[in-house]
């Protein structure tokens, strides 16, 4: 089960990929982490899929991460009395709290917090940006608008508000129920939609209380303004290009994507690039050349993971989509320029022992031509620092915590192994050599670099760097 790439693949499960046989095919094709999309499906569906993943994890002996993606608030208009209407450019149109079916002059927007957050001059984008309105007058119960870009408008279309900070929690009542259930199931990551401020992350982290990693989905322009603080508070971030591409001019999305990836890497936080990566593979067995280039560019930027949404959840070719993602990653990482780019974009070190040891391990491994870096980690922090180096040498993360192993499955370059912690120095070396051999990372006579901490089993105590030879035969397991 050794991957021949360092970038991870996050695949969404859905109607096209729910069965045990299909999920196993996706793992064998390259999926490292699975996404349960709580915008769709019942709780029982998500439990069934998680049970399949956990059973498969036992069968394959490989930690598999699970991400619960919360829906977040969906701002939608109400309904129309006589079917769709056509709004003409320059016309007046009202959005209000009255849930009476609308007409050519008005429609309900049943979100008081949204109505009360809008200001004169704010732009509203309806139906994924196909229509554009500008707010001309406000009150506590309605806003009056002028149609800037007209078109047909029908029931329950979505509303995006790019340039306003909406005074509402990203956690709806549905999200809170879903979050409680996801944590009860034992998911490894929780993704929060509609993040606008650092306080949104603080709110969900209080509820999660360390039971899962919290991933901030960056999809609102307001989040870009607070990006550094949001990344600092989050355990990981996602470049959610769907709504981001609606609420920002599309030509700005690539620049924002690179900025998010760069800041996340600098902070040592995992980063995922998502949305429409291989969109055409929903109905085609091969992607467009532009999609392949898009995936490769995210990998060149050093993202930890690339994500498949409808391609694996509802598409006709889920296995082919994962296989293609795997092949693109392998080919990109085999490009000599990839290593040059990773070295050029290396983040500065923090003044910590873990950073110093991680940087030294990467340098030593490169100098002596080590086959692998083996890091012992309990909380995962040491392995995250090793991954932050974006080094050429493969990294094995050995941890006594299955929860940690599953979370780290998302992280660039880490091959996670759930094993007992080292008891002493001899055990530390023996176990590292055994696992490097058994996991096909090092052969007899080759050298490995070991990172660990004393006292053994103490989180955050990384203070040892050791070079070891893999014996002619695997050492006796301890």
Any idea which residues carry the catalytic annotation?
Answer: 35, 76, 217, 275
The contacts of residue 209 (CB under 8 Å, 6+ apart) are none
* Residue 336 neighbours by CB under 8 Å, 6+ apart: none
Whose tokens are 């500008």? That residue is 134
Alpha-carbon separation of residue 79 from 65, 107, 159 (angstroms): 40, 7, 13
Cα–Cα distances in angstroms (integers) from residue 159 to residues 17, 170, 211, 245, in the given order: 30, 15, 33, 14
Can you say whether residue 382 is alpha, beta or left, with left for phi > 0 and alpha for psi between -120 and 50 degrees? alpha
In the chain, what's the furthest Cα-to-Cα distance? 81
The C-alpha atoms of residue 123 and residue 21 are separated, in whole angstroms, by 47
- Gap between the Cα atoms of 68 and 35, Å rounded: 6
Q: Return the structure tokens found at 387.
A: 């991954």
CB atoms within 10 A of CB 243: 23
Distance from the first to the final alpha carbon of the chain: 23
Which tokens belong to 56?
Answer: 């498969």
- Which tokens hold the place of 65? 């991460």
Other beta carbons within 10 Å of 431: 24
Q: How far apart are CA 207 and CA 175, in angstroms?
A: 12
Angle between helices 289-300 and 253-267 (to 10 degrees): 30
- Asked whether the beta carbons of 60 and 76 are under 8 A apart, the reply is no
Strands 123-126 vs 131-138: parallel, antiparallel or unpaired: antiparallel
Q: How far apart are CA 100 and CA 325, in angstroms?
A: 47
Whether 190 and 67 have beta carbons less than 8 Å apart is answered as: yes
DSSP alpha helix (H) spans, 374-419: 381-388, 402-408
165 CB-near residues (< 8 Å, 6+ apart): 117, 196, 197, 222
């Amino acid at each position: 089960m050794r991957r021949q790439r360092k970038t991870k693949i996050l695949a969404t499960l859905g109607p096209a990929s729910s069965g045990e046989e299909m999920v196993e095919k996706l793992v064998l094709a390259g999926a490292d982490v699975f996404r349960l999309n709580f915008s769709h499906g019942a709780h029982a569906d998500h439990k069934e899929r998680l049970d399949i993943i956990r059973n498969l994890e036992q069968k394959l002996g490989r930690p598999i991460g699970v991400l619960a993606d919360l829906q977040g608030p969906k701002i939608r208009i109400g309904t129309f009395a006589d079917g769709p209407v056509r709004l003409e450019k320059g016309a007046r149109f009202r959005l209000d709290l009255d849930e009476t079916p609308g007409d050519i002059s008005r429609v309900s927007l049943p979100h008081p917090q949204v109505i009360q957050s809008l200001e004169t001059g704010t732009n509203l984008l309806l139906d994924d940006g196909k229509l554009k309105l500008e707010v001309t007058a406000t009150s506590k119960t309605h806003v009056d608008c002028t149609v800037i870009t007209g078109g047909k408008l029908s029931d329950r279309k979505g509303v995006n508000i790019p340039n306003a900070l909406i005074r509402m929690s990203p956690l709806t009542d549905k999200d809170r129920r879903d979050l409680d259930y996801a944590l009860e199931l034992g998911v490894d990551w929780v993704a929060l939609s509609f993040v606008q401020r650092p306080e949104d992350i603080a709110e969900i982290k209080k509820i999660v209380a360390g039971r899962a990693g919290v991933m901030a989905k960056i999809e609102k322009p307001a989040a870009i303004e607070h990006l550094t603080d949001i990344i600092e508070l989050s355990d990981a971030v996602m470049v959610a290009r769907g709504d981001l591409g609606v609420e920002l001019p599309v030509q700005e999305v690539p620049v924002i994507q690179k900025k998010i990836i760069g800041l996340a890497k600098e902070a040592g936080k995992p980063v995922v690039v998502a949305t429409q990566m291989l969109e055409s593979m929903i109905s085609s067995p091969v992607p467009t050349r532009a999609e392949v280039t898009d995936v490769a560019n995210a990998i060149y930027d050093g993202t930890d993971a690339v994500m498949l949404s409808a391609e694996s959840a509802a598409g006709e070719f889920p296995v082919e989509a994962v296989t293609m993602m795997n092949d693109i990653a392998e080919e990109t990482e085999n490009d000599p320029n990839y290593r040059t780019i990773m070295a050029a974009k290396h983040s500065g070190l923090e003044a910590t022992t873990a950073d110093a040891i991680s940087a030294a391990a990467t340098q030593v491994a490169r100098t002596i031509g080590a086959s692998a870096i083996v890091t012992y980690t309990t909380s995962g922090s040491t392995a995250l620092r090793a991954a932050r180096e974006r080094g050429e040498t493969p990294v094995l993360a050995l941890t006594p915590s299955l929860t940690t192993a599953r979370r780290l499955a998302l992280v660039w370059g880490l091959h996670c192994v759930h094993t007992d912690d080292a008891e002493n120095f001899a055990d530390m070396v023996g176990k590292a050599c055994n696992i490097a051999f058994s996991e096909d990372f090092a052969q007899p006579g080759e050298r490995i670099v070991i990172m660990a901490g004393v006292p053994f089993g103490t989180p955050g105590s990384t203070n040892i760097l050791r070079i070891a030879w893999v014996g002619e035969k695997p050492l006796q397991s301890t």
